[in-house]
Structure 1
């Protein structure tokens, strides 16, 4: 394999995976409109041997420096006329991915009738994936920005990325805005007096939350499940409002 072919293979691999996930996120959006369940759709698609089950999970957008850098790099190889959108599939994938990162902001905005000022939002999972200290291009970054600018208070928890998030918040926000953010090493502490809980990564500690404790802690029992970890009927039967991705 030539160096040029090897380079394109590397970038193309991540572009292919990102395209697959972006399509699932588009199907998740359609599912919400037509009252389908993307989890059932995912299982149906995965049963087709031509498609397979890998990378069929919708969510709140891809992050991390490798995916982001590789998508931008391969897009830069396109003819100039295609680099700025329009007919570029890669640009559409990038746009879908970025739009997906603010999905839960839009859902909460609608839930609270377009007024989030003074609401307290807990976020579990700040890294772009579990067991990483990196928050680069993660959904948490987009959501923190959006919620802070709407006057929300944020209570953040992540087993690995908390220190990174602290440094990022201190770098990107004013002293006044920093007062809107608190950092918690214990997941249930982050939920105290929260009006909503956003779960953005699939740490095992998040898989089976103590709903009784959560309900006692929270001001408003709302769970936004960015990885479709939970059975929505289990959550709703415990008197929570539930928002997933494509459900």
Structure 2
């Protein structure tokens, strides 16, 4: 099939490459000339395991092309996938400028029937706005070309996006009930047939329900994360190991084991903006999603937790202190720094006067670019980008781990202890076991592992006043 992908970010590039891998003829369109030149020259704008190999193989085979020519790209594809960014605007709503601009571009150049597929994460009702933009452009040039707007949200995890696309657990498609919608449905049924050979994975529904499904899924997962983080912070107060609790509740089939890991909060391009956008949609209809407001508040405070633990341990003035930070990307197997918890931690440490050495296996270049936007020049000057994990440790007063890269899971603890001024680890992803750290002679602070800091509180006193304030803040938001 002939397919056009508009946008070559995570979603667009993975979608285009994987559809080409299935034998389709794919053109990926982007107005960023530098990015298209990079892709045509054999480079990659993002880090995603397995993606570079698929792009190279299909580009060489002629099934995958990259261009900036809007007219040619629209002419090419019977299916036009819109896979552009939908960032949060100032009030938290999804910014649809790029989506609607793509729709207008299709309308300006299309000559025959087109299926316009919203692959971007978009609020309920966007399909109708896309259709209106298409119709306006067609009317402007007195064209009677037919089209159908379809919602086909992505469910790709960064770091496992290729695997998720090629082995999906579900495919959600929203079509309307018109003759053009039926025509679109058959084309999409054909496109996704290779994924349904063993059993039917496609869930057909109306367009609005498909749009809602994507937001509901991400909001549900974000809620699990924030709830577990709330449990973890209470566990620190009462001397409970949240990892034991996680295994206990995760074995209940009604709950399951996924997204139950306590840590330094979620980040990335999806959960934060999708939670905000869904709450904003609810507000437009006079509804208040109290749980989601609390989910967002908890996550904002959770991203500050690792820094607060360090400040409780060493005091608010970190002038003259030096810290090592392992992990910058918001999650492993990606270089994505969008809303990464490491950005919050670095601001806390630098603004308290510390110097920092950082290391990430793949996100160093993207981190340098992002942090240059986050920080003042004097703060940026106090960051050293270390080429290796052990290199980051030299002369550090403590190590903070923010991203759970596999390379950090089984380090040489003897070398870590020798490199640090003091054998102190703040583990924002619970990579290590407290008992093992005690045996190695480390002062170890995890998330919800029965914190040493909490145990030092006076008997009968509230053990985590900073965390208590967070809980009260979340409750006040729910009651507001």
1:64 aligned to 2:272? no
Q: Which residue in 1 is equivalent to 2:291?
A: 89
Q: Which residue in 1 is equivalent to 2:381?
A: 179
Q: Which runs of 4+ in 1 moved over 6 A?
A: none
Q: Separation in 2 of the partners of 1:79 and 1:167?
A: 35
Q: Separation in 1 of the partners of 2:276 and 2:315?
A: 36
Matched residue SS, 1:79: helix
Q: Separation in 2 of the partners of 1:2 and 1:44?
A: 39
Q: Separation in 2 of the partners of 1:178 and 1:50?
A: 47
Matched residue SS, 2:357: strand
User: Please, which of 336, 339, 347 is the counterpart of residue 137 of structure 1?
Assistant: 339
Q: Separation in 2 of the partners of 1:21 and 1:170?
A: 29
Q: CA deviation at 1:174?
A: 2.8
Q: Separation in 2 of the partners of 1:33 and 1:173?
A: 33
Kindly report the root-mean-square deviation, in angstroms, between the aligned alpha carbons of the 2 structures.
Answer: 1.4
Question: What does 1:31-46 align with in structure 2 at a 5 Å threshold?
Answer: 31-46=235-250
Q: Separation in 2 of the partners of 1:78 and 1:214?
A: 49
State the TM-score, normalized to the length of structure 2: 0.50
Whether the aligned pair in 1 keeps the contact of 2:425 and 2:442 (CA below 8 Å) is yes
For residues 102-149 of structure 1, what are the alpha-carbon distances to aligned partners after superposition, in whole Å with 9 as ceiling and x for unaligned? 111111111113332221111111001111111111110111111111
State the TM-score, normalized to the length of structure 1: 0.95
Q: Count how many residue pairs are aligned between Structure 1 and Structure 2.
A: 244
1:27 aligned to 2:231? yes
Question: What does 1:115-194 align with in structure 2 at a 5 Å threshold?
Answer: 115-194=317-396
Moved more, 194-203 or 173-182: 173-182
Q: Separation in 2 of the partners of 1:82 and 1:153?
A: 45
Question: What does 1:225-240 align with in structure 2 at a 5 Å threshold?
Answer: 225-240=427-442
Unaligned runs of at least 5 residues, structure 2: 1-204, 450-480
Q: CA deviation at 1:70?
A: 1.1
1:13 aligned to 2:217? yes
Larger radius of gyration: 2
Higher relative contact order (CA 8 A, sep 6+): 1
Whether the aligned pair in 2 keeps the contact of 1:123 and 1:154 (CA below 8 Å) is yes
For residues 40-87 of structure 1, what are the alpha-carbon distances to aligned partners after superposition, in whole Å with 9 as ceiling and x for unaligned? 11111012121111111111111101112211111111135666xxx7
Matched residue SS, 1:49: coil
Q: Which residue in 2 is equivalent to 1:74?
A: 278
Q: Separation in 1 of the partners of 2:253 and 2:376?
A: 52
Whether the aligned pair in 1 keeps the contact of 2:266 and 2:340 (CA below 8 Å) is yes
Matched residue SS, 2:330: coil
Q: Separation in 1 of the partners of 2:250 and 2:293?
A: 26
For residues 169-195 of structure 1, what are the alpha-carbon distances to aligned partners after superposition, in whole Å with 9 as ceiling and x for unaligned? 223323322221010120100011111
Whether the aligned pair in 2 keeps the contact of 1:46 and 1:53 (CA below 8 Å) is yes
User: Please, which of 112, 122, 128 is the counterpart of residue 314 of structure 2?
Assistant: 112
Whether the aligned pair in 2 keeps the contact of 1:24 and 1:56 (CA below 8 Å) is yes
